[in-house]
Amino acid sequence: MPDNKVGGETKLEERPQSALRRRLNYYFNWPVVIDPFGKPYYRWQIIISTAVLYNVFCVPSRMAFEQLREPHLDVMWLALDYTSDGLYIFDIIWHLFIGIPRKGIPAADLRVSRKQYYHGISFKFDVFSILPTDILYWQWGIRMAALRINRLARFHRVQELFARTHVHSNHGVYFRFLEVLLYSIIFVHFNGCLYYGLNIYNGLGYDEWTFPNYATGNVTDHEGNAISAEEGNFFNLYLRSFQWSLVVLAQDVDGLIYNNVVECLLRIFVTIEGTFLMGAGIAIAEHLLASKNRHLEAYQRRLDAVKQYMLMRQVDKSMQKRVLGWFNYVWEVKQFSDEQTDLEILPPILRLSIAKISFQDTFQRVKLFRGCEPQALEELIMRLQLQFYCPGDLVFRKGDVAREMYIVRSGLLQAVSEDGLDVYATLSQGSVFGEVSLLSGLIKADQKRTNTVRSQSYSELFTLSKSDFQV
């Protein structure tokens, strides 16, 4: 092969790659890096969680209920099983292309992310959950659903889905409730399947603790009426098992007699499990309610403090009525949240972006800023101050020194005469007033207000001061 010397070093000429080699490089060096916080990854989590929940509910059911192991169901179960297995395998491949963020940037070098994935506990669970235990079907038959019990080890994907849902949804509290509800249903389902499996182990109709053997046709109810053998179908037996599990978990009583050690041990296990589950449920419910009512508690606490203050200072009834009206308005419209405090954790650039989106509708109505350069407009947005006025409040009087201009965010205001009897103009969202006196004051001495402006309703106004323009 010919070579060239560059800077005293020998540089070999690269051979042109064949079409097959380029194709292999294309498939095995896929340049796409998946963001674990993006929408595609979130959608995939929904798909893989569906496959996991299929195994969580169907594998224990097929192990316990002989009605689900009928020969005519074999093809359906095999199709569903291997569809979920295919999704399990693709899930591992999918995670090989996920770039673990470093300082907020998904890693471009997938070797770092893959190394972290390989050494993590989730990879070990992923591999264990897809071990080909189905090969033992040759020994015990394709109806041995217990061979697929390792598929439940992928349940951490469901937990990850709920964690991501809290980020992607604006109703995180409700999804936390659904998460607790799902876990509770899974616990009841497992115990119900275990209870029916013990029925089969002891024999249906073995004692008062087990189900009657409806297939014999000799079962009667408490009034002595014969019960049809159709009552022994899967749906009825599953509901009875689910109801038994739910009662024992929730109330610690089933009113039945235990005739052997196995029945007693199951009863003790389910009772202990129910105690822990109920305690965990109460703690989680308390947390959810506290999160949901945080603003309401703050509102009531401040309202009570203001009421107590007005009572101590003997504030007159008319003023108390105005204050209480303001509190009602704040709760109904603002939900008693402090925007500035809530956004303090964000860096300035993100606060600016949110402010631009929040104030966009208002600023689009302001003719004064339509020809303003974007950079200057952003500076003004960051300097905006929000002020609130109640019905009847004066924003300023005629003759006051002009130090601020106002932009109406919401509400109605009126430009009136000094005595308040004559109305010259009505101002609504997007209206600007006070700018002439303010801008004139930048060149000349402080200007005086030429009108009086009064708030007709509860109003929110943005203000810009003279110093904001001078800077």
**Degrees, nearest 5: CA angle 385-343-471:** 40
Hey, what's the torsion of the CAs at 429, 430, 432, 433, to 10 degrees?
A: -10
pLDDT at 5: 47
Between β-strands 101-102 and 432-433, what pairing exists: parallel, antiparallel or unpaired? unpaired
**131 in Cβ contact with 118 (< 8 Å):** no
The answer to whether residue 154 scores a pLDDT higher than 80 is: yes
Overall residue count recorded for the chain in this entry: 471
The answer to whether residue 8 scores a pLDDT higher than 50 is: no
The answer to whether residue 226 scores a pLDDT higher than 70 is: no
Whole-Å CA distances, 178 to 27, 151, 194, 387: 40, 23, 24, 40
The answer to whether residue 3 scores a pLDDT higher than 60 is: no
Selected residue with higher pLDDT from 131 and 361 = 131
pLDDT at 1: 43
DSSP string, 107-155: -S-HHHHHHHHHTSHHHHHHHHHT--GGGGHHHH-TT-GGGGGGGGGGG
Span 288-298, average pLDDT:
67
**Side chain identity, residue 150:** N
pLDDT at 2: 47
The answer to whether residue 26 scores a pLDDT higher than 70 is: no
Q: C-alpha 96: how far from its chain's center?
A: 25
**Side chain identity, residue 458:** Y
For residues 267 and 248, give the distance between their C-alpha atoms in angstroms, rounded to a whole number.
8
pLDDT at 7: 47
Average pLDDT value over all residues in the chain:
76
72 phi and psi, to 5 degrees? Answer: -70, -10
Helices 74-95 and 121-129, packing angle to 10 deg:
150
**416 in Cβ contact with 451 (< 8 Å):** yes
458 phi and psi, to 5 degrees? Answer: -70, 125
Tokens of 425: 């103009």
Span 39-60, average pLDDT:
92
- Cα atoms in the 13 Å half-sphere on the side-chain side of 128: 12
What SS3 state is found at 16?
coil
Q: Which residues are CB-neighbours of 284 under 8 A, at least 6 positions away? A: 176, 180
> How does residue 387 score in pLDDT terms, banded at 50, 70 and 90?
confident
The answer to whether residue 287 scores a pLDDT higher than 70 is: no
For residues 68 and 73, give the distance between their C-alpha atoms in angstroms, rounded to a whole number.
7
Selected residue with higher pLDDT from 53 and 246 = 53
In terms of DSSP H, where are the helices of 213-338?
A: 234-251, 261-292, 294-312, 317-329
Return the closest-CA partner of residue 292 out of 171, 161, 169: 171
Return the closest-CA partner of residue 464 out of 429, 424, 427, 437: 437
**Side chain identity, residue 99:** G
pLDDT at 6: 44
In terms of DSSP H, where are the helices of 330-420?
A: 339-342, 348-363, 374-382
**Side chain identity, residue 261:** V
Q: What pLDDT, in 10s, does the model give residues 443-462?
A: 666 778 888 999 988 888 98
Tokens of 411: 């509400």
* Continuous segment of H or E residues that includes residue 409: strand 404-410
The answer to whether residue 157 scores a pLDDT higher than 50 is: yes
4 phi and psi, to 5 degrees? Answer: -120, 145
The answer to whether residue 4 scores a pLDDT higher than 80 is: no
Q: What percent helix, strand, coil does the chain show, rounded to 5?
A: 60, 10, 30
Q: What pLDDT, in 10s, does the model give residues 65-124?
A: 888 988 999 999 999 999 999 999 999 998 888 877 655 555 566 777 888 888 889 999
For residues 60 and 237, give the distance between their C-alpha atoms in angstroms, rounded to a whole number.
14
The answer to whether residue 407 scores a pLDDT higher than 80 is: yes
54 burial level (CB within 10 Å; 0-12, 13-18, 19+)? middle
For residues 170 and 167, give the distance between their C-alpha atoms in angstroms, rounded to a whole number.
8
The answer to whether residue 400 scores a pLDDT higher than 60 is: yes
144 phi and psi, to 5 degrees? Answer: -85, 85
**Side chain identity, residue 333:** V
Span 435-450, average pLDDT:
69
For residues 274 and 247, give the distance between their C-alpha atoms in angstroms, rounded to a whole number.
10
Q: What pLDDT, in 10s, does the model give residues 302-356?
A: 888 888 888 888 888 888 888 888 887 777 665 555 555 666 666 777 766 776 6
**Side chain identity, residue 4:** N
